[in-house]
A and B are shown apart, each in its own frame.
Chain A
Amino acid sequence: MKVVLRNPRRELDVPAPRTVEHLLRDLDVLPESVLVIRNDTLVTRDEPLVEADVVELRPVVSGGSG
């Protein structure tokens, strides 16, 4: 599957199938720090991902204090 990362924008090819939770763990990404968006839809941690999926890991952590 294709995984799109931000700041800076880049793409990774990651083997599937695996769940969202496994994907984040394998990429060493804290679940609290991102939204996971598959094909323009938010998905929960238990969601299975397949080879054809395009998954965006959108960062949610802002550097300013508001």
Chain B
Amino acid sequence: MKCRRCRAPAVIDIRRHNAAFCTDCFVHHCREQVRRTIDHFHMIEPGERVLVAVSGGKDSLGLWALLRELGYDADGLYVGLGIGEYSDSSGQYARDFANARGWKLLEVDLPAEYGFDVPEGSRAAKRAPCSACGLSKRHLFNAAALSHGYDVLATGHNLDDEAAVLFGNVLRWETGYLGRQHPVLPAAPGFARKVKPLVRLGERELAAYCVLTGIDYIIEECPMAVGNRHLGYKEVLNALEERSPGSKASFVSRFWDNAHARFAEDAAEERDDLAPCTECGAPTPSEVCAFCRLRARAGARHIPLTEVQLTEELR
């Protein structure tokens, strides 16, 4: 195959674009997709400070690199979740990446700073591990963005993630979740603005971007995620994509264009019902937020949000 832009030998083909690219043109393609997404959804204004949630994986490290290439003032945040060797290894990938480039990486360690880890929290709360993990990360990412004065919190959710989440939300007609599923969630009292600049790039493209630009990322899958529902949805969607290239992109983009607004009211009503958590002050529909309940069930000590200790390292 030849590169669509320059006719040099291609290194990757992307069927939904009916195109193949050489290394340089593929990197240009990724950068352009992210730039257009940020502009289209008005994600980040010039001069704003961005905090990128990094896990040591291909999506988040790729996002951080792409935002920096596009000229954004972006720092990283790594949350240690206490998932044994996997967390040790993923944290090291994030640190090595930041160190090699001299970029600022903030760190929060769930076991050290909140007294429980994801496996303990999952068992104590009788929640699926990925549920306890996602809940903890959302809470800690938001808290760190607010407490450090960042304008925007950016996450590495890609096209495949969005398609799988949309698939799950539609299967159960979760109207509140559908109303909140958007590339930008505006800032609100107690919430930082959240953006997903990778929603037009598939995870295969992100992995290729990392390989081709020399980003060393953790390839091993999280042991807690094996066999989870999200992976099952991705398998179904990839089988569909093989038969009909472009299905995932069409599913997601037409949802945003044609259907998202119909569910936005449900999400707004849920947000109107939020009040500060009596333990930590984070917005919650209950007296005590889900993160503080999880922490209490895991038998962990109480640490108010105002006392969150973030380890800031300029590497």
In the bound complex, do residue A58 and residue B155 qualify as a contact, i.e. CB atoms below 8 Å apart?
no
Tell me if A64 and B133 are in contact (CB < 8 A). yes
User: How far does the Cβ of A4 sit from chain B's closest Cβ, in whole Å?
Assistant: 11
- The answer to whether B155 and A66 have CB atoms under 8 Å apart is yes
Q: Would A65 and B242 count as touching, CB distance under 8 A?
A: no
Cβ–Cβ contact A66 & B20, under 8 A: no
B226 to chain A: closest residue by CB = A63
Question: Is B122 in contact with chain A by the CB < 8 A criterion?
Answer: no
Q: Type the 1/0 row for B178-211, where 1 means its CB is closer than 8 Å to any CB of A.
A: 0000000000000000001000001110111001
In the bound complex, do residue A62 and residue B59 qualify as a contact, i.e. CB atoms below 8 Å apart? yes
Contacts of B235 in A (CB 8 A): 30, 33, 61
Q: Mark B220-235, 1 if CB is under 8 A from A, else 0.
A: 1110011010110011
Which chain A residues numbered 38 to 64 have a C-beta less than 8 Å away from chain B? 41-46, 58-64
Does B156 count as interface, using CB distance less than 8 angstroms? yes
Contact, CB under 8 Å: B207 / A60: yes
Residue of A whose beta carbon sits closest to that of B164: A65
CA distance A46 to B196 in the complex (A): 33
Range of interface residues on chain B? 35 or more
- Chain A residues closer than 8 Å to B231, beta-carbon distance: 61, 63
Which one, B5-13, B31-39, B100-108, B257-265, is touching chain A?
B5-13
Contact, CB under 8 Å: A63 / B228: yes
- Cβ of A33 and Cβ of B238 under 8 Å apart? yes
Interface of A is mostly: loop
Residues in chain B near residue A33, CB distance under 8 A: 204, 235, 238
Which A residues touch B211, using CB under 8 A? 35, 37, 42, 58
B134 (CB) vs chain A CBs: closest residue: A65
A33 closest partner in B (C-beta):
B238
Q: How far is the CA of A63 from the CA of B202 in the complex (A)?
A: 14
Asked if B157 is at the interface (CB within 8 A of a chain A CB), the reply is yes
| CB of B314 within 8 Å of the partner chain | no
User: Are B221 and A41 closer than 8 Å at their CB atoms?
Assistant: no
Residue positions of B touching A, CB distance < 8 A: 1, 10-13, 15, 20, 53, 55, 57-60, 130, 133-134, 155-158, 160-161, 164-165, 196, 202-204, 206-208, 211-212, 219-222, 225-226, 228, 230-231, 234-235, 238-239, 241-242
Interchain Cβ contacts under 8 Å between A and B, 5 examples: A35-B208, A42-B208, A42-B212, A59-B219, A60-B58
Q: A34-B204, A42-B211 are in contact. List 14 more A-B contacts (CB 8 A).
A: A32-B242, A35-B211, A42-B11, A42-B212, A59-B221, A60-B204, A62-B57, A62-B203, A63-B226, A65-B164, A66-B59, A66-B60, A66-B156, A66-B161
Partner-B contacts on A (CB < 8 A)? 6-7, 30-35, 37, 41-46, 58-66
